[in-house]
């Protein structure tokens, strides 16, 4: 029987027992003083006071015991719920740690991708500059048979010498 089903059934049993004991006590009183001894309902407040003391003396301890049992069952159920809540919090914390690790890894990957994108964009700019520079150099110094590095070196020398002459 699961604990969720256990709580309402157990409390219903306790309430049913208390109700049965109350009816039995009342029935015993009516039987003993009403039918067996042939006493009529009294108009005297003292008799009603004794009846109230009798009912209170018999039923109050039973209700008190039932209340104590119900309190103990409630405390037990709360302890079970607290344990389940703690377990769920542990699982939630573990999931959050895993999520944090994944976010850190994702951030590192993003930083690496950003660096690579910047690096390759700069390489592309260098390649474009080198191509443009070699095209300018080939127009200005039409020497065949020289490699691009030599052409670029010669072009830079030509640019510096021209600037210093001006």
HSE-up of residue 43 (Cα within 13 Å, Cβ side): 0
Contact residues for 11 (Cβ-Cβ < 8 A; gap 6+): 70, 73
pLDDT at 90: 94
Euclidean distance between CA atoms 106 and 1, whole angstroms? 47
Q: Report the distance separating Cα 90 and Cα 82, nearest Å.
A: 12
Give pTM, 2 decimals: 0.45
52 and 22 in contact (C-beta within 8 Å)? no
What pLDDT sits at residue 144?
A: 46
Task: Write out the chain's pLDDT in tens, 166 residues.
Answer: 445 555 567 778 877 887 888 888 888 877 776 666 666 666 777 877 887 887 788 888 888 888 888 888 888 889 999 999 999 999 999 999 999 999 999 999 999 999 889 888 888 887 787 777 666 656 655 554 455 566 666 777 777 666 555 4
- The angle formed by the CA atoms of residues 21, 22 and 26, to the nearest 5 degrees, is 115
pLDDT of 1 reads 42
Domain ranges of the chain: 3-124
Contact 48, 42 (CB under 8 A): yes
Per 3-state DSSP, what percentage of the chain is helix, strand, and coil (rounded to 5)? Answer: 90, 0, 10
């Amino acid at each position: 029987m699961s604990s969720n089903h256990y709580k309402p059934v157990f409390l219903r049993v306790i309430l049913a027992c208390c109700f049965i004991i109350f009816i039995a006590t009342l029935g015993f009183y009516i039987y003993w003083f009403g039918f067996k001894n042939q006493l009529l309902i009294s108009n005297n407040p003292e008799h009603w006071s004794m009846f109230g003391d009798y009912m209170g003396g018999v039923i109050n301890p039973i209700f008190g015991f039932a209340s104590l049992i119900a309190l103990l069952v409630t405390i037990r159920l709360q302890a079970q719920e607290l344990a389940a809540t703690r377990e769920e919090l542990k699982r939630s914390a573990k999931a959050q740690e895993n999520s944090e690790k994944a976010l850190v890894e994702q951030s590192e990957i993003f930083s690496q991708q950003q660096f690579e994108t910047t690096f390759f964009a700069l390489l592309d700019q260098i390649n474009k500059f080198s191509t443009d520079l070699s095209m300018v150099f080939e127009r200005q110094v039409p020497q065949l048979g020289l490699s691009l590095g030599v052409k670029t070196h010669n072009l830079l020398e030509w640019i510096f010498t021209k600037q210093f002459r001006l």
